[in-house]
Amino acid sequence: MADPPCPPLPRSGAESLAALADRCVQCGLCLPVCPTYATDRIETESPRGRIALAKAWSTGRIAPTAAGDAHLDHCLGCRNCESACPAGVDYGRLLVAARAEQRQRRRPGPTQRALEALSAHPRGLGRLLDAYRRLHPALPASWRVLPRPPRPAPPGRPFDPADDARPRVAVFEGCVARAYEPRVRAALDRLCAAVGVTLVAPTGQTCCGSLHAHAGDTRRAHRLADANRAAFAGHSTVLTLASGCHEAVAAALPEGVGRDAVDFLHAHAGRLRFRPLEARVALHLPCTQRNGSRSGAALRALLGRVPGLDIHPLDAGHGCCGAAGTQMLVDPERAALHRQPLLDALDAIRPDRVLSANIGCRLHLANGTPLPVQHPLELLAGQLQPD
């Protein structure tokens, strides 16, 4: 399941948690951009407070407590703080390091453990989600924790046509996205064909590992990265669809191989022609897209090529929907609290649909609105001008 952009620690030469924390000059410029600080208005719910707390634990100055652990748990990993930090604190890496230390002394809860285990085995997760899709109409409302998955794509399509001589690019399928994004992958296939390349989905790929790294399980995150590195060996371009997966996938592959699908298509936009669409859309740029893959400008440029499309930014509050990977399932009340400003903004915008490039954000937003919630590439593929 796509998670906030917190890359795993390097295998060797990693800075200590204390060294990462020492970069923070405690200026407080991160406070106004932090969603959890805006909600709770206490220092320990801010990046500055969490840095101080994690450093104090790491150096033994104070003993860990349940209350302190809760403050670390509440962090959404949005990394808005990095954009405001004048000292260049690598908060994403620091958060992973702090949660790795936390994990050594505190076992994750059963829901978190189950989600980590399932995401590390995408095929098993896919079978479970297919059963969930079939049972969804009969389930009590309290059991419908995620939107109903779509029907699986027809076997053998849209990937790997046997007699295609065009250049090939690979696509990263992910874990939960494998079940929820058959239409998105089909849309990417059509867009790639329009720019003269063929999309393939190598076997053997697995979860990107962001979910595990973000929860402090860096060992399993490294194992998943190794599996993906082997699965994509020999491919010079690997496209990611979920912004929450992008950094982990790119870090697992040789430099320059992992590319955001939006950026890739924007680089070939001269070959794309779109039919007009008179529609009003709300565009949500996930934290992982703003602070991780940084493909927001490319996405706006691509959507701007569709004549008649009326685009409205969905960035109320701090722009963070609160999904934060597993947090929408582990702590649904707080996740809903962070989502609410965006839902209120939708009432004001009154769009025909909502666009968001991250699978976790789309699932969380779809649970709060009856509007269609799509990956932007679905809209673009639907408006392709035939040759």
Domains and CATH numbers, the chain: 17-105 (1.10.1060.10), 122-267 (no CATH), 274-382 (3.40.50)
* Sequence-ordered list of residues with C-beta below 8 angstroms from that of 26, at least 6 positions apart, any chain: 48, 52
User: What tens digit of pLDDT does each residue of 43-87 get?
Assistant: 999 999 999 999 999 999 999 999 999 999 999 999 999 999 999
User: What tens digit of pLDDT does each residue of 111-139 get?
Assistant: 999 999 999 999 999 999 999 999 999 99
pLDDT at 121: 96
Give the dihedral sign, CA 116/120/124/127. Answer: positive
Structure tokens at 149: 């998955």
Mean pLDDT over each residue of the chain, to the nearest integer: 93
Residue 157 has pLDDT above 80, yes or no: no
pLDDT at 303: 98
User: What tens digit of pLDDT does each residue of 326-384 get?
Assistant: 999 999 999 999 999 999 999 999 999 999 999 999 999 999 999 999 999 999 999 99
Question: What's this model's pTM, rounded to 2 decimal places?
Answer: 0.92
Residue showing tokens 């690019």: 169
pLDDT at 387: 73
Contact 335, 327 (CB under 8 A): yes
| Cα–Cα dist 128/118, whole Å | 9
Question: Under DSSP, is residue 218 helix (H, G, I), strand (E, B) or coil?
Answer: helix
Instruction: Tell me how crowded residue 144 is: count the other CB atoms within 10 A of its CB.
Output: 14
Cα Rg of the chain (Å, integer): 20
pLDDT at 10: 39
Average pLDDT, stretch 243-259? 97
Question: Under DSSP, is residue 141 helix (H, G, I), strand (E, B) or coil?
Answer: helix
Average pLDDT, stretch 9-14? 40
pLDDT at 13: 36
Whether the bond between 158 and the residue before it is cis, its omega within 30 degrees of 0, is yes
* β-pairing verdict for 238-240 and 279-284: unpaired
| Cα–Cα dist 31/358, whole Å | 25
- Side-chain-side CA neighbours of residue 158 (13 Å): 19
User: What tens digit of pLDDT does each residue of 180-233 get?
Assistant: 999 999 999 999 999 999 999 999 999 999 999 999 999 999 999 999 999 999
Contact 288, 244 (CB under 8 A): yes
C-alpha separations of 9 from 56, 84, 289, 293 in Å:
20, 22, 20, 18
C-alpha separations of 185 from 190, 278, 342, 374 in Å:
9, 24, 26, 12
pLDDT band, residue 12 (cuts 50/70/90): very low
Contact 361, 286 (CB under 8 A): yes
pLDDT at 386: 85
Instruction: Tell me how crowded residue 83 is: count the other CB atoms within 10 A of its CB.
Output: 12
Structure tokens at 96: 């992973």
| Cα–Cα dist 339/334, whole Å | 9
